[in-house]
Amino acid sequence: MTRLTLRGALRIGSRALLRASLLVGLLVVTAVMLLLVVSGKLVTVQSGSMSPLIRKGDAVFLKPVSPKQLRTGQIVTYDRAGRSGQLVTHRLIHITGSRLTVQGDALTSPDPPVPESAIVGRVAVIVPRLGVVINGIRTPPGLALVVYLPALYLIGGEIRRALRSSRRPNYRLNNG
């Protein structure tokens, strides 16, 4: 009967943790890539202006939309003029010619009118808390956990496998 030591248990636990983080990272990347192919653009939500439907920390996948396809009640994302790439996701409440009125569900007053040309897309999919994961991955510790540690684990495994195979004698049978 083999006795498990503390060191052996820690080794097994660390391997399981690394494998789990690799699997989770792979699943998240696969899901995000699939949704990006289907919808077109991913935006992380930075405020609670659309609560309770869309909360801070959620992610929304946007579908491109032409001005003729816009309807009141849709949730759209637009590029806020004068705020260099700041995207806002709010509900379309009124259309007047080429000017749109949008408002966050949790807000009491609408935003200033938005030109049709500022619309980035219509919200197609809301993924709760995915924005937190994405924003976390963008930090150095998150990047280390999701990318660097699994990569080091895989590289280390290949090095161990190569060292083990180089220590084994290489016998060849001569059938001649």
pLDDT in tens, 146-163: 788 878 888 888 888 888
Widest Cα–Cα separation across the chain: 90
Place of tokens 């897309």: 121
Go through the domains of the chain in sequence order and give each one's CATH number.
Answer: 14-142 (2.10.109.10)
Q: What pLDDT is stored for residue 95 in this prediction?
A: 97
What's the one-letter identity of residue 174?
N
Query: Could you tell me which of 76, 99, 101 has the C-alpha nearest to residue 87?
Result: 76
DSSP label at 3?
P
Task: Tell me what pLDDT residue 15 has.
Answer: 78
Q: Please report the pLDDT score of residue 37 as a whole number.
A: 67
Report the pLDDT value the prediction gives residue 1, as an integer from 0 to 100.
56
Residue 84's pLDDT is: 65
User: Distance between CA atoms of 176 and 163, rounded to whole angstroms?
Assistant: 31
pLDDT at 74 (0 to 100) = 98
Report d(CA 17, CA 146) in Å as an integer: 11
Local mean pLDDT, 10-residue blocks, the chain (176 residues) = 71 79 78 70 94 96 93 96 82 96 98 94 92 88 83 85 76 64
DSSP track, 108-137: SSPPSPEEGGGEEEEEEEEETTHHHHHHHH
What number of other Cβ atoms are within 10 A of residue 74's Cβ? 15
